[in-house]
Amino acid sequence: MIRLHDYELSADAFKVRQLLAWLGLAHEKILVDVHPGREHESARFRSELSPLGRVPVLEYDGLLLHDAGAILVYLAVRHDEARRWLPVDARAQGAVAQWLGIAHDLSRSAGALRLHHAFGAAVDVAVCRGEAIALLRLLDDHLAERASAGERWLVAAQPTIADLACFPHAALAGEGGLALDAWPALRRWLWDLRHLPGFIGMPGILAAGEAQRI
């Protein structure tokens, strides 16, 4: 049985919910009271589930993973037999690992800004803004280069967990006070991902068919 410790507004938890949906995996959902309860920082949560106090957490056959990127890798290797979401060739695996690192940095910069705006989290706004902008520009540059080669996704001819891992931080950047006006390739990629079949959305990221302007 898959058990997901989840928080609806978490961009990192969204990634896992979305891959579970795309892979059609039934799971039990445990809601974590991140705000206002700060349950993820409690001694119990840290000692039993997530030593760094992070959400989401996946429990599965005795395995415990508390890093969103690692959960995506695990689910893709175990449940995506065609390996569309994490292609097996070395070049793709290296590239996906690099984007997972960038997604991790996006979570800690663009994601931190969002927490700051929404919940007043204490962050160094100037440092986070500078880093988030550098990462979003990197995404836009890469997507523009891929588009010039006729490709729409970060790594492969189809979306991979690299796209999914970076997506929500870019899609929700506005909630952290970051504008995407300067990055058309990035905006087109957000649109493409939101229009994939089975896209589930989350608060702040509506699925296709729901009225939204990015």
Residues that bind a second copy (CB under 8 A): 51-52, 63, 65-67, 69-71, 73-74, 77-78, 88-91, 93-95, 97-98, 100-102, 104-105, 124, 134-135, 138, 141
The token pair at 50 is: 């997530």
Shortest separation between residue 103's beta carbon and a second copy, angstroms: 10
- In the bound state with a second copy, the residue whose beta carbon lies nearer, of 18 and 107, is 107
Query: Closest separation between CB of residue 73 and a second copy, Å?
Result: 4
Q: In this structure, how many other beta carbons lie within 10 angstroms of the beta carbon of residue 84? A: 15
What tokens does 136 get? 């979003």
Give least dist CB 193 to a second copy, A. 21
Q: Which residue, 71 or 190, has its beta carbon nearer to a second copy? A: 71
Q: Is 26 or 52 the residue whose CB approaches a second copy more closely?
A: 52
Is the CB of 76 or the CB of 173 nearer to a second copy?
76
Q: How far is the CB of 69 from a second copy (least distance, A)?
A: 6
- CA separation for the pair 165, 19 (Å, rounded): 10
Minimum Å gap between C-beta 91 and a second copy is: 6
- The one-letter amino acid code at 192 reads D
DSSP state of 202: B
Q: How many CB atoms lie within 10 A of CB 124?
A: 12
Min separation Cβ 80 and a second copy, Å: 10
Identity of the residue, 162 or 172, whose beta carbon is nearer to a second copy in the bound complex: 162
Judged by beta carbon, residue 42 or residue 93, the one nearer a second copy is: 93
Beta bridge partners of 63: 60
Mark 167-200 as b/e (b = at least 16 C-beta within 10 Å).
bbbbbbbebbebebeebebbbbbbeebbeeeebe
Q: Which residues contact 205 (CB under 8 A, 6 or more apart)?
A: 14, 168, 171, 172, 194
